[in-house]
Amino acid sequence: MDATSLEEEQVAAAAAAADNLDEEVEQGEEGEEEATPVVLKKGPWTTAEDALLVNHVRQHGEGNWNAVQRITGLLRCGKSCRLRWTNHLRPNLKKGAFSPDEELLVAQLHAQLGNKWARMATHLPGRTDNEIKNYWNTRAKRRQRAGLPMYPPEVQLPLAITKRCRYADFSPPQQSAGGNVLDATDAGFKLHPGGNKSEGELLKDDDDIGTLFDMIIPKAFPMTEPAPPAMVTNHSGNSISQHGSDDHNVNLNVDHLPVISSEQDWVLDGACQWNNMSGIC
DNA sequence: AAGCGTCTCAACCGCTGAACC
DNA sequence: CGGTTCAGCGGTTGAGACGCT
Domain total in chain A: 2
- What confidence score (pLDDT) does residue A247 get? 33
Backbone angles phi, psi at A254, to 5 degrees: -100, 5
User: What's the one-letter identity of residue A29?
Assistant: E
Note the strand C nucleotides within 7 A of protein beta carbons: 5-12
Ranges of chain A with pLDDT below 50 = 1-8, 10-11, 15, 18-34, 166-281
A125 touches strand C (CB under 7 A): no
**A108 and A10 within one domain:** no
Read off the CATH number of the domain in which A8 is found.
1.10.10.60
- What confidence score (pLDDT) does residue A157 get? 64
User: What's the one-letter identity of residue A168?
Assistant: A
- What confidence score (pLDDT) does residue A85 get? 93
**In sequence order, what E strands does A68-144 have?**
none
Q: How many Å from the CA of A45 to C1' of C15?
A: 13
**A277 and A161 within one domain:** yes
Q: What distance in Å separates the CA atoms of residue A229 and residue A234, rounded to the nearest whole number?
A: 15
**A29 and A140 within one domain:** no
Note the strand B nucleotides within 7 A of protein beta carbons: 7-14
Q: How many Å from the CA of A96 to C1' of C12?
A: 23
**A252 and A190 within one domain:** yes
**A226 and A121 within one domain:** yes
A59: containing domain: 3-89
Q: How many Å from the CA of A19 to C1' of C9?
A: 35
Q: How many Å from the CA of A130 to C1' of C2?
A: 34
A65 touches strand C (CB under 7 A): yes
Q: What distance in Å separates the CA atoms of residue A58 and residue A36, rounded to the nearest whole number?
A: 30
Which nucleotide is nearest, taking the CA of residue A279 and each C1'? B7
Q: How far, CA to CA in Å, does A28 sit from each of A23, A37, A70, A122?
A: 8, 11, 14, 41
